[in-house]
Chains A and B, each alone.
Chain A
Amino acid sequence: MKNKLLPIFITFIFVIVFAIFYKGLKETNIYTPETKTNYEVPSLLVELFDTNEIVNTLEIFNSDKFYLLNIWASWCVPCKQEHPILMELKKNDNLNLIGINYKDTKKNGNNFLKEFGNPYDKIIFDNKGTNAIELGAYGVPETFLISKNRIIKKYIGPLNNVSMEEIKLFIK
């Protein structure tokens, strides 16, 4: 019996390995990052775009409303694509739009807003990109849905109609 045991055991191991790889192939998302959500907005000191004031993030996100935190830049092409969606979402009363101007200059940022419209209630000026990192963002464009000071949903990449509908459902 001992003679037969080893080959059977080894074959069994290889069958398992095969099954795991097979399953792995089916999920094509191996090695793309999980988006961490449901964590608290960290307390950071940020500079406001318009007034150059330094405020704490906890002061910005302090009311009971929903907040949509959108990272954008004048040099970011997909941001232009998602902009109409932001203008549309602005119409919702129970949603505050906060923008983060990412690695940009105030001059270019203002030109962008003049040309395409300003959907934001407040804008944070993040010219080094460090605030975005401290919030757990990957880059631009990126949008966070925040409620009760917790980040409940992350959208990596430009918003589209699907994500807009989803946001609308959340904030009802």
Chain B
Amino acid sequence: MLLSVIGNYSLILGLIMGLIIFYFSAKNFKNPKLLDAKILSFTFLQFFLVVISFLCLILSFVVSDFSNETVFNNSHTTKPIFYKIAGTWGNHEGSLLLWLLVLTLFILIFLVRTKNQPIKYRILTLVFQQIIIIGFFIFLIKTSNPFNFIYPIPTEGLGLNPILQDPALAIHPPILYLGYVGSSIIFSSVLAATVLNIVSLKWASHIKKWVLSSWIFLTLGILLGSIWAYYELGWGGFWFWDPVENVSLMPWLALTTLLHCILVLEKKLILTSWVIILSISTFALSMSGTFLVRSGILNSVHTFANDPERGLFILIFLFSLIFLSLFIFFYFHNSSKNNANNFFWLSKETAIIVNNWFMMYFLSVVLIGTIYPIFLDVLSSQKISVGPPFYHKLIIPFLIPFLLIMAIGPKLKWIKSNIENKIYLILPLIISIMLSILIVKNFSFKFLINTILISSALYLFYITLRDFFSKGFKNLAQNIAHFGFSLLILSILFNNLFSTEIITNLKVGETFENTKAKIVFEGVSQKEEKNYKSIVAKFLIEDSKGKLENLSPELRIYNQPNIATSEADIKTTLLSDKFIVINIVQNQEFFNVRYQVKPFMLWIWISVILISFGGLVSFIKKEYEK
């Protein structure tokens, strides 16, 4: 109980700190030298208060303090300690506290690391960030306080949904938020830079590391979410174009585009307006995501408990920020400083602009697909669903030129490239096409598009790999990231084309056999853990080559909340995953068994890690540039 009091008052003090910082910054803006030392301590104090609050919440979860409403709603004494801690941010209120933690942490780091930047810029960035922070404090304290009391104090909590009790999902929010919420700094600093009219090469160079770190965390965060979905949801799917997934993908697309633009702005003063718009949009998309997911306006497997009142607050908050940014952009931004467009059509600048063009198209597809059903329903009360087929049809054809340009673009020079000696680029293209025809023909897939898609991806794969061996550490970061992307597309394609599945009903002791595999349902046994009981089914699987494998899927019944889940058993190797789940059939003695062989799953995860590793290399390189 004391924890809740401390936690609650820390939040209120933090809000007051925010108001103090805002007031003093505004008041002394003309003579900023007065502020310098104080500002840093105030910001640190604010961060420290949020940390205290966060720790109080974690402790409340760990000791199962059910006088706290949030702990009561989301925890249980028998939950393992790891999930008790992770439960802190696995709910709406706690995750908002995590938002605040990252918001205050990042502005602190920003102030510390930008000591040699103009002081007015730093103060203004702080001011804009504080607007966001204060908004979130108010939102938290007023509508989503994690420290509400309930009386009488219950002896036991309601527990956390068992599908959320998974290691990948436990660390998914913190990592995702470091990316998602981290883009707030980019937002605040671009607004500050626009007001002071210092959006320039120097600023781009300075902001690049922030863009990179936000991007790396966001990439990894999305990866963790997909891994969780693969293990816990559905039958071996890892991306469903679910609204909540899309909502994390959109800031990623904007951030990736921004990253490429910064590369240009670092070197020449063009695209400044566009960089400003992208920087604002990334965070705006993050916040819109928060709105869509928490307001109850969307319905999905992933959504938090919804509440339209909270939705209204976020909506107003979000649009206030958008209108503020629009005002600053149109009022302060002076684009005449651009020393334009003196680059040839065949140049690296063009390649990056084309990249932007395609990325914005992909972003619009995801955005429209996610939001359109809402608009249609509000405007005409018609309900439609927009699912994977929509996204596939609109994105895949455009991936082909995108992959090809990704391969050729980096090889073009800045300003102008010569066409003459580019023959060595065409030969690998032909080889890629022939290779993919071979693959598609041998396995009789009738889709022409697969051939072209595989060849484009193979082309990128080959080019980046060759560059790595011939050019060494030049452009290493970009090579790794682009190589990772080609690997991702190839893995997803091959996984899609070569996955096999057997669905059958089996009783204990029965066997299923076809040309691809033999499944023996050996038996069931019972297991009891701290917070669930389970039936463990034992299977012996023999594949077409005679290799034997033991797999044991489970059916679990958790004690609190009383939910039954089906836990897949997945055997992962470099080449493929073997995936098996069982389910009870109502009123029957047999089980429904689903067995899948999914090639190259591991490579899907590895390729995303490679992509973010590319970002890390760029970050480290920038660090040593000083």
Q: A interface vs B, CB < 8 Å?
A: 6-7, 10-11, 14, 18, 20-28, 30-34, 75, 103-105, 108, 127
- Specify which of A18, A25, A27, A75 is in contact with B586 (CB 8 Å cutoff): A75
Does B151 lie at the interface of the complex (its beta carbon under 8 Å from any beta carbon of A)? no
The answer to whether A31 and B326 touch across the interface, beta carbons within 8 angstroms, is: no
On whether the beta carbons of B330 and A18 are closer than 8 Å, the reply is: no
Q: Report the separation of the CA atoms of residues A75 and B330 in the bound assembly, to the nearest whole angstrom.
A: 64
7 tightest Cβ-Cβ pairs between the two chains A and B: A31-B299, A7-B330, A24-B378, A18-B319, A25-B311, A25-B308, A23-B378
Whether the Cβ atoms of A20 and B374 lie closer than 8 Å is yes
Which chain A residues lie closer than 8 Å to B319 at the CB level? 14, 18
Q: Among A26, A34, A75, point to the contact of B308 (Cβ < 8 A).
A: A26
In angstroms, how far is the closest chain A Cβ from the Cβ of B210?
Answer: 26
A156 to chain B, nearest CB (A): 15
Within the complex, what minimum Cβ distance (angstroms) separates A2 from chain B? 13
Pair A103/B297 contact, Cβ less than 8 Å: no
Cβ–Cβ contact A14 & B379, under 8 A: no
Question: Quick one: which of A30, A34, A108 contacts B297, CB cutoff 8 A?
Answer: A30
Whether B315 contacts A20 by the Cβ 8 Å rule is no
A27 CA to B373 CA in the complex, in Å? 14
Tell me if A30 and B299 are in contact (CB < 8 A): yes
| Residues of chain A lying within 8 A (CB to CB) of residue B330 | 6-7
Q: Cα distance A18–B299 when bound, in Å?
A: 20
By a beta-carbon cutoff of 8 Å, the part of chain B in contact with chain A is: 291, 295-299, 308, 311-312, 315, 319, 322-323, 326, 330, 373-375, 377-379, 381, 383, 586-587
A167 shortest CB reach to chain B, Å: 25
A107 to chain B: closest residue by CB: B587
A20 x B326 contact (CB < 8 A) = no
Tell me, in angstroms, the Cα distance from A83 to B60 when the chains sit together.
45
How far does the Cβ of B98 sit from chain A's closest Cβ, in whole Å? 24
Contacts of B375 in A (CB 8 A): 20
Shortest B247–chain A CB gap in Å is 14
Known: A22-B315, A30-B299. 18 other contacts (CB 8 A): A11-B326, A14-B322, A18-B315, A20-B375, A20-B378, A21-B291, A21-B315, A22-B312, A24-B374, A25-B297, A25-B308, A25-B315, A26-B308, A27-B377, A30-B298, A75-B587, A103-B587, A105-B587
Contact of B383 among A6, A10, A34, A108 (CB under 8 A): A34
CA distance A10 to B373 in the complex (A): 22
Q: Which residues of B contact A20 (CB under 8 A)?
A: 374-375, 378-379
Chain A residues near B373 (CB-CB < 8 A): 30-31
User: What does DSSP make chain B's interface, helix, strand, loop or mixed?
Assistant: helix
Closest to B330 in A: A7
Given contacts A26-B308, A30-B297, A108-B587, contact A21 B374 (CB under 8 A): yes
**Most central of B299, B322, B323, B374 by chain A CB within 10 Å:** B374
Sample of 12 A–B contacts (CB below 8 Å) = A20-B378, A21-B297, A24-B378, A30-B297, A30-B374, A30-B377, A31-B298, A34-B381, A34-B383, A75-B587, A103-B587, A105-B587
Interchain nearest-CB distance for A18 vs B (Å) = 5
Q: Is A14 touching B377 in the complex (CB atoms < 8 A)?
A: no
Bound CA span A18–B323, Å: 11
Q: How far is the CA of A105 from the CA of B586 in the complex (A)?
A: 10
Report the minimal beta-carbon distance from A30 to chain B, rounded to whole angstroms: 5
On whether the beta carbons of B377 and A24 are closer than 8 Å, the reply is: yes
Chain A nearest Cβ from B556, distance in angstroms? 20
**A24/B383 in contact, CB under 8 A:** no
- Whether the Cβ atoms of A32 and B295 lie closer than 8 Å is no
B326 and A10 contacting across the interface, CB-CB below 8 Å:
yes
In the assembly, what is the distance between CA of A30 and CA of B311, in Å? 14
Contacting A25 at CB < 8 Å: which of B295, B326, B383?
B295
User: What is the bound-complex CA distance between A84 and B511, given in angstroms?
Assistant: 46
* Known pairs A30-B377, A31-B299, A33-B383; A103 contacts B586 (CB<8 A): yes
Q: Report the separation of the CA atoms of residues A151 and B229 in the bound assembly, to the nearest whole angstrom.
A: 39
A75–B585 CA distance with the chains assembled, in angstroms: 13
The CA-CA distance from A67 to B155 in the complex, in Å, is 50
Q: Shortest beta-carbon distance, A137 to chain B, in Å?
A: 16
Closest A residue to B382 using CB positions: A34
Q: Using Cβ atoms and an 8 Å threshold, which residues of chain B touch A34? A: 381, 383
Note all chain B residues with C-beta closer than 8 A to A21.
291, 297, 315, 374
When chains A and B are docked, how far (Å) is the Cα of A116 from the Cα of B379?
47
Inter-chain CA distance A11–B586, complex, in Å, is: 56
Closest to A23 in B: B378
Q: Which residues of A contact B587 (CB under 8 A)?
A: 75, 103-105, 108, 127
A1 → B minimal CB distance (Å): 14
B323-A11 in contact (CB<8A): yes
With A20-B378, A24-B378, A25-B312 as known contacts, state yes or no: A7 contacts B295, CB within 8 Å: no
**For the complex, what is the distance from the CA of A24 to the CA of B311, rounded to whole Å?**
10
Q: Which residue of B lies closest to A27 (CB)?
A: B378
Indicate the member of A7, A30, A34 with the most B CB atoms within 10 Å.
Answer: A30
Closest residue on chain B to residue A31 by CB atoms = B299
A100 CA to B299 CA, complexed, in Å = 30
What residues of A have a CB within 8 angstroms of the CB of B323 in the complex?
11, 14
B297 x A7 contact (CB < 8 A): no
Residue of A nearest to B377 (CB): A30
Q: A32 CA to B326 CA in the complex, in Å?
A: 35
Q: A105–B374 Cα gap in the complex (Å)? A: 42
Interface centre among B319, B373, B381 (most CB of A within 10 A): B319
Nearest residue (CB) in B for A74 is B587
CB distance from A111 to the nearest CB of B (A): 13
Looking at B296, B378, B379, B383, which has the most chain A CB atoms within 10 Å of its CB? B378
**Docked CA distance A144–B186 (Å):** 56
A6, B375: Cα distance in complex, Å: 24
Question: Which residues of A lie under 8 Å from residue B308 when comparing CB positions?
Answer: 25-26, 28
